[in-house]
Every structure is written in structure tokens, then in C-alpha cells.
A = this chain, B = another copy of it.
Amino acid sequence: MPIGVFDSGIGGLTVFKEIAASFPKVDLYYLGDTARVPYGNKSKTTIIRYSVECASYLYHNYNVDAIVIACNTASSYALDTLREILPIPVIGVVQPGAESAVKVSKNKKIGVIGTSATIKSNSYLETLKSLDKDLEVYQKACPLFVPLVEEGWIDNEVAKLTVKEYLDDLVKTGIDTLILGCTHYPLLKNTIKGLYPHLNIVDSSVAIVEHLKNIKLNIEETGKRKIFITDESHAFDKLKNMLVGDIKTEKIELSDLCSL
């Protein structure tokens, strides 16, 4: 069963990398919608439309047997719609991340960070509460983390100060576990860990792989990997090379998506 992974842009490559490493024989197709990135500041309707276009592209062109939404914003808003319209399993990042957090937290106080849209959607809050209604959940939008990662500033003074500015108050609530609710954030994991070494940090990309391992995958493939983007992007190339090396990237036309 080939797997399709899509994201608004670059961040989902952290998920792609983890899946590729854990399932070397599965055929993997990645679509980064770099022409319309970021989704995090778009409205719900727009996010759903873009997500449907991305998932449909992978489903219709590559016969994927499962879709991973490697984007917290799209997972928060478009998961239900995609499950309705596609006849294959659709896996978001929210449920696996929330389940991991519940497993590791001892004091039942969990922090969630993400883009403005992800936090505003309350998707983590609601999923966590559905798993255990006694959890205390503290949320914080961190809109500067994505541009910091895309600039490659993941451990300099600006990165540390920005992490402190966003997280000091959140950590003061007494949380023992922090969900990185955005696929860019794993690249800031070491900086966050350095400032708050006592926190359990839940990385969506790792959580998704755990989730996929629980699904019975019928693997008869040769480990093909293909990456599509909707626009050329220097930041994408930089991060792609850093994370997954020299896998070929192919540009597709946005009109090919829109017409589906």
C-alpha cells in the first residue's frame, strides 16, 4: 500500500522523514503546497478546500491506500471532510499526538503549541479531553516558530529568546508534557529541551509513525519516494536537503490541483 503525505509546505517533511525511516519498503508520495503556504493564517473554508485538492491529487494520480495529513492546521480543520470524501484511511497528526501525550504525562497537565489556526480550532484540546476529561490543557499559538525554522534560526539567540517569550508563562502553569502541534516545531526541539529539560516533548512525526505501526500495512512495494511541490521554493530545498537528502522534487501546476 503506497502512502500519500501532504502538507501546506515544508514542515511535513519531518513526518515524511520519520515514516520513510520506519517503513523503508513502503512507496511514499509527498505533496507540499508551497504555492499557497502557510495555511495557518487562512480561514477554515479555505483550509478545507486546499486540503481536499492536495489529498485528491495524491489519491487520483498515485492510487495511495492511505493519506497522512502532515500538517496540524489541515488536520484540525479538514480531517472530517477528507474522511467523508475519500474511501481510504486518512490519518491526521492530532489524534496520535494527543494519545502519546496522555501516555507520558504524569501530572495530567499538558501544554499544546501550534499555529494560530491550529490553536484556535481547539482540536488538540477537544481530542485530549475526549481521551481523559480530567486533563488540564494549556494552549499557546507561536506564529513566529515557522518563519524561524524556515530561516534556519533553530538554536541562535533570537530562537532562544522567542521560545522563552512564548513558552515561559505556559511552562509556569506546571505542565509536565508539551505537544509540538506543528510539523515545523521538531526542528526547535533541542532548543526547547535545553530551556525546559524537565518537559516531556511530544513530536507529532514520531507519534504518527507509532500510529501507522498499529495499522496492518500490506507491504509489497519497493520503497519508492517522490516529492511534489506546487511552487519552487528555496526554503523547501534547504530543509528537504537537510531532512531527507537528495530525493527528487517535481513541480506540479496549481491548476492541476484546482481542477480536481
Contacts and interface: CB of A to CB of B under 8 A. Distances in A.
Interface residues of A, number: 30
Contacts of A42: 35, 231, 233
B147 A157 contact: no
A227 interface: no
Interface stretch (A99-107, A148-156, A214-222): A148-156
A231 B43 contact: yes
B144 A43 contact: no
Contacts of A254: 46
A235 B37 contact: no
Given A36-B36, A43-B232, A151 B158 contact: no
A195 interface: no
A127 interface: no
Nearest to A157: B161
A46 B35 contact: yes
A143 interface: yes
Nearest to A120: B234
Nearest to A116: B234
A241 B254 CA distance: 33
B144 A148 contact: yes
Contact of A151 (B46, B144, B153): B144
Contacts of A143: 147, 150-151
A43 B116 CA distance: 26
A165 interface: yes
A41 interface: yes
Contacts of A153: 144
Contacts of A130: none
- Chain B CB within 10 Å — which of A147, A148, A161 has the most? A147
Contact of A158 (B37, B43, B165, B234): B165
11 contacts: A35-B36, A35-B42, A35-B46, A41-B150, A43-B231, A116-B234, A144-B148, A144-B153, A144-B158, A157-B161, A158-B158
Interface of A: 34-37, 41-43, 46, 116, 143-144, 146-148, 150-151, 153, 156-158, 161-162, 165, 231-235, 254, 258
Given A35-B36, A158-B162, 17 more contacts: A34-B41, A35-B42, A41-B150, A41-B235, A42-B233, A46-B231, A143-B150, A144-B144, A144-B148, A144-B151, A147-B147, A157-B161, A157-B165, A158-B158, A158-B161, A158-B165, A161-B161
